[in-house]
Chain A
């Protein structure tokens, strides 16, 4: 299965993300978010940030994770190309994100997600794979 893909949605952005486990799902979700914003291949890995996310369940962790990445882009002006899931303990998830500062000339913006929502949100485990579907307001 592809790590992520766009699903049809009239007004906003809808993603389907997969992973061989929850850690990979989270990493792929990060990549999917960046891929919405710009060509991920053009984002170098010149800096790293340790990002901590809290949530009571996989759906909440996913929404909070995507919203955190939107914040990093919008306010800190950083795009991330790659991610390393470090741990998830008692509802607190730590991910190291690798990327670079946003450059409007280099990173041509595609979609403009403004928030991940709970609309049609679903994180499920089928056999050995996690599949998540999420809608982002744009």
Chain B
């Protein structure tokens, strides 16, 4: 255990403090239960929380959500806010998969209506949604002007092209568009990587999951979201694909030079950053925003194909299917937001890397539809167990800049998972549990098997009990398409 970790102070049942020390400009604050903390201490993620606290202009604590694990520079599950005039922006605080995020769709169907049909439905989804490394759509060809529009208009572009409805935009974080995006600040290499990938799922832990509402914890909130027990739902998880990765790589190079230029101490090279007021920071924010818009557009397009798959596989009319978007959230992003800190309203750049925005009821950035309950938060678990729907709270706004967890986090490396899966058929095991699976790549099911992940219930328990989010419903899987 390092010196930093040895000085962890327990504030209450679910919060631990890394006191300010050494080069830290503030404290680190970790949301976790005691049993989870033991596991967290096995990697160096808390050191990363302490390292983030050394960055200039940080406001409040360097935060860690209960699904924290070791990342690049910032830990995954890390949240940090910086003042616009004194602070910095760091690509490491956003991640490579810019705007990797998740959306939840509901239907008018109940689980019994899928009996005997789930395999066909999953096969149809698998056919309609390109997944896996290097996957591309044949039916979507973008010229340079169109691609620029995607990067600068995000989900709005997709709606204009006929993917989904205009009403969907109000149910997407930031209405599906980061306004400061500039396609001209995205490199030609990034454009090349992204051009054929719009409308595809990607690989690894990206997925489309058909599930159902297994349990409702908050009837009022569920009703406002249009959720009911046994309702068939779809959860979609993907991001900005190769384009986002390239933007991150491009700007890490820029930020390494910028950190030197502006004399910024870096506890870790992957914390490379630039002052928010600098041209380097403005360029990165604009390129990051463009990549985020790509991801918003991507999820909007994929939702269209999810709907088409349902209509075709189940021979339903759109009216009978009644598919609707509950909400779409990012969990790898930097946002410019206003927050009350110490009695003052501050303009901040909030980095959420493997963390989800969770604004409360009545917040101006929460959709009007959810004004009475708070912004929906979707927390996917592994493909065998369950996922959760929550809402943001006032406590989150006050304690974590309106942030909460994003998922379960890996327990086993891909290599360890493959070893453990040897001699087993994970597909057969999942089928026996009533979960139909299809995967684009060999080994993906083994690498992504449920045992490879932590139990998301434990993560959600912490955010619930600590008050930074509130449970609304629990979803269970019926079928999954993996990249």
Tell me whether A71 and B133 are in contact in the complex, defined as CB-CB below 8 angstroms, given that A10-B412, A109-B442, A114-B242 are known contacts: no
Asked whether A124 is an interface residue with its Cβ less than 8 Å from the other chain, the reply is: no
Q: Which residues in A have their C-beta under 8 angstroms from that of B133?
A: 74, 109, 112
Q: Could you tell me which residues of chain B, from 50 to 83, have a CB within 8 Å of some CB in chain A? A: 69-73, 76
Say how far B237's CB is from chain A's closest CB, in angstroms.
Answer: 15
Q: Assess whether B380 is interfacial by the CB under 8 Å rule.
A: no
Contact partners of B246 in chain A: CB under 8 A: 71, 115
Question: Bound complex: CA of A94 vs CA of B412, how far in Å?
Answer: 38
Docked pose: A138 CA to B205 CA in angstroms: 9
The residue that B69 contacts in the complex, of A11, A77, A111, with Cβ under 8 A, is A11
Q: Is A43 an interface residue (CB 8 A)?
A: no
* Residue in chain B with minimal CB distance to A54: B253
Given A10-B70, A109-B133, A121-B269, also A115-B96 (CB < 8 A): yes
B141 to chain A, nearest CB (A): 16
Judge whether B96 and A8 touch: CB under 8 Å.
no
Answer whether residue A117 sits at the interface, using C-beta atoms and an 8 A cutoff.
Answer: yes
Within 8 A of A (CB), among B325-378: none
Give Cα A71 to B209, complex, Å: 29
B413 at the interface (CB under 8 A from A): yes
Complex CA gap A122/B12 in Å reads: 39
Interface flag for A119 (CB, 8 Å): yes
Q: A74 and B134: CB pair below 8 A?
A: yes
B201-254 with Cβ < 8 A to chain A? 203-204, 242, 245-246, 248-249, 252-253
> Which residues of chain A in 78-111 are interfacial with respect to chain B, using CB atoms and an 8 Å cutoff?
102, 108-111
Quick check: is A137 within 8 A (CB to CB) of the other chain?
A: yes
**Contacting residues, chain A, for B256 (C-beta < 8 A):** 118
Contacts of A114 in B (CB 8 A): 96-97, 242, 245
Q: Which residue of B lies closest to A77 (CB)?
A: B134
**Complex contact B193–A75 (CB within 8 A):** yes
Contact A74 B442 (CB under 8 A): no
In the complex, A112→B241 CA distance in Å? 12
Check if A41 is an interface residue, CB within 8 A of chain B. Answer: no
B413 touching A118 by the CB < 8 A rule? no
Chain A CB within 8 A of B43 CB:
yes
Chain B residues within 8 Å of A121, by CB = 269
Instruction: Kindly list chain B residues whose C-beta atoms are within 8 Å of the C-beta of A119.
Output: 71-73, 268-270
Contact partner of B270 among A6, A112, A118, A138, CB < 8 A?
A: A118
Is B443 close to A, CB under 8 A? yes
- CB <8 Å contact, B410 and A10: yes
CA distance A75 to B246 in the complex (A): 12
- Given contacts A115-B245, A115-B249, whether A10 and B413 have CB atoms under 8 Å apart is yes
- B204 and A112: CB pair below 8 A? yes
Give the contacting residue for A11; candidates B245, B413, B442; CB below 8 A: B413
Please indicate the chain A residues that have their CB under 8 angstroms from the CB of B269 in the complex. Answer: 118-119, 121
B146 within 8 A of A: no
Q: Is the CB of B270 within 8 A of A115?
A: no
Distance to closest chain B CB from A128 (angstroms): 27
Interchain CA distance A131-B99 in the complex, whole Å: 35
- A115 — which chain B residues lie within 8 A by C-beta? 96, 245-246, 248-249
Q: How far is the CB of A12 from chain B (nearest CB, A)?
A: 8
- CB–CB B72/A117 < 8 A: yes
Residue contact A112 to B441, C-beta cutoff 8 Å: yes
Q: Once the chains are docked, how many angstroms separate the CA of A102 from the CA of B138?
A: 19
Note all chain A residues with C-beta closer than 8 A to B117: none
Contact flags (1/0) for A120-138 with B, using CB distance below 8 Å? 0100000000000001011
User: Chain A contacts of B72 at CB under 8 A?
Assistant: 117-119, 135, 137
- With A118-B256, A119-B71 known, 17 other A-B pairs at CB within 8 A are A11-B71, A67-B249, A74-B242, A77-B134, A102-B134, A109-B132, A109-B133, A109-B442, A112-B133, A114-B97, A115-B96, A118-B73, A118-B270, A118-B272, A119-B72, A119-B269, A137-B72
Closest 9 CB pairs of A and B: A119-B72, A118-B269, A115-B245, A137-B96, A10-B413, A114-B245, A112-B203, A117-B72, A112-B133
Q: List 18 A-B contacts (CB under 8 A).
A: A8-B415, A10-B69, A10-B410, A11-B69, A11-B410, A11-B413, A60-B253, A71-B192, A74-B193, A112-B133, A112-B203, A112-B441, A114-B97, A115-B248, A117-B96, A118-B72, A137-B72, A137-B96
